Structure 1
Amino acid sequence: MKKIYKALTIAGSDSGGGAGIQADLKTFAAFGVHGMTVVTAVTAQNTVEVKGIHVLPPEMVEMQIQAIIEDIGVDAAKTGMLYTKEIVEAVARKIEEHKIKTVVDPVMVAKSGARLLLEDAIEALKSKLIPKALVITPNIPEAEVIVGYEIRSIEDMKRAAKDIHELGADAVVIKGGHLPGKKIVDILYYKGKTFEFEKLKIESTNTHGTGCSFSAAIAALIAKGKRIPEAVKVASEFINRAIKHGYSIGGGHGPVNPLVELYEKSSKYIAWKNVSEALKLIEESPELLQLLPEVRMNIGEASMYAEEIEDVCAISGRITEVNGKLRAAGCPKFGASKHIARAILSAMKINPNIRAAMNIKYSKEIIEACRKLGLIVASFSREEEPIHIKETEGASIPWGIRTAIMKSEKFPDIIYDLGEVGKEPMIRILGRNAIDVVQKTKKIGEILMQINKK
């Protein structure tokens, strides 16, 4: 029987769904871990402010923990908003009683500025809870409260991590997002060693729930048996992507997107499935043979959060003619076509809903057929391509697609160019998905056959 890993969050509820137990449960799901909750407080909040806090009695907090332990069990836990001294002490008792592997996120202040840990609870955090922590994950302002001095550099972070370790935590992670610069360095101090995890800083206001999701990711990975350095490294990379693809909702700090990995995996399967079905349609459509270019044909679809060629599914070896019929040289595969991938990725940057493309040969008659169908046609000229673009590997197609789209009054269905020496003239058909693209192409083929009969 497959083992079900179980992670527990002991934290507050965020009515806006961006932080607290809501963010934690999303993160647990993203890592394939069954999530459980102990609610410490109910907040009325949105992306702008915390309007109210209703704190649960510490006895109820303990009862929730006990109920889960008695029946389900806990592989790892994390704490978030604890708010009062009494809840901090109650949680510390239960962690000690049941020897729970716990990641402590010392939540003190909400993104909106509201206090989430009372002043008199800070000492209890330091003396009662931190000594029970397997990992503690303060950001720089939180670490400054704990150690009592300013942190202004990576060296300060390393010093603070060691000082917090002296309070009893096995491992200390200090998050470097509050330091200025284009890069973030997270510091881990564990077993006498200091580890640095460097990443690019994502400029975004969608950062609500960052600390919650980061600590939840570490807890989920520890629940699955990962070592602490590995768990911190994976969680650090995970949270950067969650920030990058956060949700621009509300009038304040939008939430991060901890489910981005799940969405990406499912959308990759959908892209592969669509390309597979599109290929079947192509091979069953004789009217498309007349559209085959000399360099052969390909079709591709990108995943929802595609960023690079490997995120675009296309036909390995392209589509060619075999005994008078269109046939694929290989199977649908991610990273199979650089040209189609670059075209799709360039279009997606301007319109994220356009995630598929197909190349066909150019002729005036085909462009005429496109216009008869009411398709929006745009073009670019390779003669206008800047020298530095021509000299940069892989830059021509992105430049051309971007140029054609920006010149067009409406977002185009068709982008063509007349080629140049060594470059065949080409038409690219854009669409929401691979099947949408093939349907457009089939109509073009049918119209072209009618034009050629006249």
Structure 2
Amino acid sequence: MKLCKGEIPAALTIGGSDSGGGAGIQSDLKTFAAVGVYGTSAITSVTVQNTLGVMDIWDVDVSIIRRQIKAVAEDIGVDAAKTGMLHTTEIIEAVVEEISLWGFPTVVDPLMKPKGGASLMTPGALVTFKEKLIPLAKVVTPNRQEAERLSGVKVRTLKDAEEAAEEISRLGVEAVVIKGGHIDTPEESVDLLYEDSQVKTYRLPRLDSKLTHGAGCSFSAAITGLLAKGFDIKEAVERAKRIVFDAIRHGFDVGKGYGSVNPLAELHLKSEKYAVIMALEEALEKLNTRDEFFELMPEVRMNFVYALPRAIDIKEVAGFPGRITFDGKQLASVSRPRFGVSTHVAKTIITVMKSFPDIRSALNIKYERDLVDASVKLGLNVLNYDRRLEPEKIRRTEGASIPWGVEQALKELDLRPDIIFHLGDIGKEPMITVLAETPREVLKKVVKVLKNR
């Protein structure tokens, strides 16, 4: 059931409601919005649920489920749909009949057991699920445990996942994606796509996070939305994996159990990037309002950086290309701030953020003893490290010196840092780095230090 040409694509989620807002149709609708499709829903069950688990389930009458699907398909249209929680045999059979009637491409997310609490599929429903729903699916997206139940194959490794995917494909589905969150690949999360007897893997770093509630729902919803927009399965899976990776990294730490993913993280980050650039431009303007700032210029020049929330790589830190220099009249940069252009100061802030995630901005300035003394007198937390003690292995490793030094400084005093400095070494200029939550707060600290030097 297609929309009129030129209209926004529409995607339908058929599944359960999560009162905690992290999974189910709530997660699906957020994800549809994130990928740029119009989201609609047909609720199959209402769950009593939070971050700790599912406490109770109330199933919607199958006639109401049918009418919800019909109402959406007749009026708005369905470019692609997904199924989530289908609790009973009767619900599965009703959904199968509606999918067959309307003929929209469907992604099947075989929800069986949440992280905690009641089962999302009654024991007798699995046979109907395998025999009637999966053959209608364009894509099915089981995790390791679900793949084992659907295939009968014990899944521990990627080779096992490939065997399970091949077995599931024999049920008639066009493509199988086995999610790698629970597969034994310690450094990476590897999703496996089996399509047309071919295997493709999708790899991203494994995240150590409890903000994973709704990750599976968001993944299948992202695939659905992208299929609705005309992406092929391989492209849809690749983009969906990145969306969920960001959704976990920037998830919501709510509740007492597993926090929720943030399907809109990609959109929020785009907005945050703009705010970061604007804040740095404002900071450079402020630097030019006081003559004494010019005197803080080190020989290697300075850079002012600002990281995105939860940044883990210098590509997620904005700074000034070519650093900030003094052109004889004012402090200037060759161009506007950009992400990924700073190395030393960016590595400083990335290392600090591992211990203090809210400290996201830094400015390096010329080392002078009276600046350090003024900082101490003001009660700022001043940390330092000795570059002469740098291990030979660190010296020989490109880009390892700054993280090593900052880690040493943080270990030495175990304080939230305001200032980190070092006295240099052969060929290395002594340097002070001022740290704070934002560029504006960095400048406030610098002004206080200058007034008290």
| Partner SS for 1:37 | strand
The CA deviation at 1:83 is: 0.4
Asked if structure 1 preserves the Cα contact closer than 8 Å seen for 2:157 and 2:184, the reply is no
Deviates more, 1:292-301 or 1:369-378: 369-378
Offset, 1:258:
2.7
RMSD of aligned Cα (Å)? 2.2
For residue 418 of structure 1, the aligned residue among 415, 419, 423 is 423
Distance 1:432 1:325, change over 3 A: same
- 1:174 pairs with 2:178: yes
Pairs within 5 Å for 1:423-434? 423-434=428-439
Moved more, 218-227 or 206-215: 206-215
The CA deviation at 1:314 is 0.8
Structure 2 match to 1:344: 349
Residue number in structure 2 paired with 1:163: 167
Q: 1:331 to 1:14 in 2, by over 3 A?
A: same
- Which residue of the partner structure matches residue 139 of structure 2? 135
Q: TM-score, structure 1 length as denominator?
A: 0.92
Instruction: Determine the structure 1 residue equivalent to 2:69.
Output: 65
Inter-partner Cα distance in structure 1 for 2:264 and 2:70: 29
Matches within 5 A, 1:19-168: 19-168=23-172
Report the Cα offset of residue 131 of structure 1: 1.8
Amino acid at match of 1:163: E
Report matched runs for 1:138-287 at 5 Å: 138-182=142-186, 183-287=188-292
Calculate the TM-score normalised by the size of structure 2.
0.92
Write the deviation string for residues 353-376 of structure 1: whole angstroms up to 9, x where unpaired.
100000111112222333344432
- CA offsets 1:14-63 (integer angstroms, 9 cap, x no match): 11222111221222233232322211111112222321111100111111
CA contact (8 A) 2:106 2:139 kept: yes
Letter in 1 for 2:339: F
Equivalenced residue count is 448
Q: d(CA) in 2 for partners of 1:321 and 1:334?
A: 22
Say which is worse superposed, 389-398 or 49-58, in terms of deviation. 389-398
| Matched-pair contact (CA < 8 Å) for 1:287–1:446 | no
C-alpha contact (below 8 Å) 1:45/1:51 kept by paired residues = yes
1:89 CA drift (Å)? 1.4
**Cα distance in structure 1, aligned partners of 2:173 and 2:414:** 60
- 2-structure distance, mates of 1:344, 1:439: 18
Alpha-carbon offset, residue 202 of structure 1: 3.3
Q: Report the counterpart of residue 295 of structure 2 in structure 1.
A: 290
Give deviations 1:341-364, integer Å, cap 9, x for gaps.
011111111101100000111112
Q: CA deviation at 1:296?
A: 1.4
State yes or no: 1:375 paired with 2:380. Answer: yes
TM-fit CA distance, 1:248: 4.4
CA distance in 2, matches of 1:60, 1:337: 57
Instruction: State the alpha-carbon separation in 2 of the partners of residues 315 and 397 from structure 1.
Output: 19
Q: Given residue 435 of structure 2, which amino acid in structure 1 is its aligned partner?
A: L
What does residue 17 of structure 2 align with?
A: 13
Find the residue that maps to 2:124 and give its secondary structure: helix
* DSSP 3-state at the match of 1:119: coil
Tell me, what secondary structure is at the counterpart of 1:360?
strand
User: What per-residue deviation string (whole Å, max 9, x for no partner) do you get for residues 270-313 of structure 1?
Assistant: 11111111111112322211111111121010111322111111
- Please tell me whether the aligned partners of residues 285 and 442 of structure 1 are also in contact (alpha carbons under 8 angstroms): no
The Cα shift of 1:386 comes to 2.2
Q: Which moved more, 1:196-205 or 1:330-339?
A: 196-205
Structure 1 stretch displaced more, 7-16 or 190-199 = 190-199
Instruction: Note if 1:395 corresponds to 2:400.
Output: yes
Distance 2:438 2:333 in 1: 19
8 Å contact 2:156–2:184 — kept in the other structure? no
Q: 1:11 to 1:285 in 2, by over 3 A?
A: same
**Match for 1:356: what amino acid?**
S
**Cα 1:306/1:193, change in 2 over 3 Å:** same
* 2-structure distance, mates of 1:118, 1:214: 23
| Equivalent AA in structure 2 for residue 31 of structure 1 | V
CA contact (8 A) 1:318 1:330 kept: no
CA offset digits 1:155-199 (Å, max 9, x no partner): 443333233223221112222433334144432222232223344
Aligned to 2:326: 321
Separation (CA, whole Å) in 1 of partners of 2:399 and 2:242: 27
Q: How far off is 1:259 after superposition?
A: 3.0
Secondary structure at the aligned position of 1:65 is classed as: helix
Letter in 1 for 2:86: L
Identity %: 47
Q: Deviations over 1:51-83 (max 9, x none)?
A: 111110011111111222222222211110010
C-alpha distance 241-284 of structure 1, shift in aligned 2 (>3 A): same
Return the alpha-carbon distance in structure 2 between the equivalents of residues 328 and 165 of structure 1. 57
Select between 411-420 and 362-371 the one with higher mean Cα deviation. Answer: 362-371
1:398 is aligned with what amino acid?
P
Q: Which runs of 5+ in 2 are unaligned?
A: none
2:304 is aligned with 1:299: yes
The range that moved more, 41-50 or 187-196, is 187-196
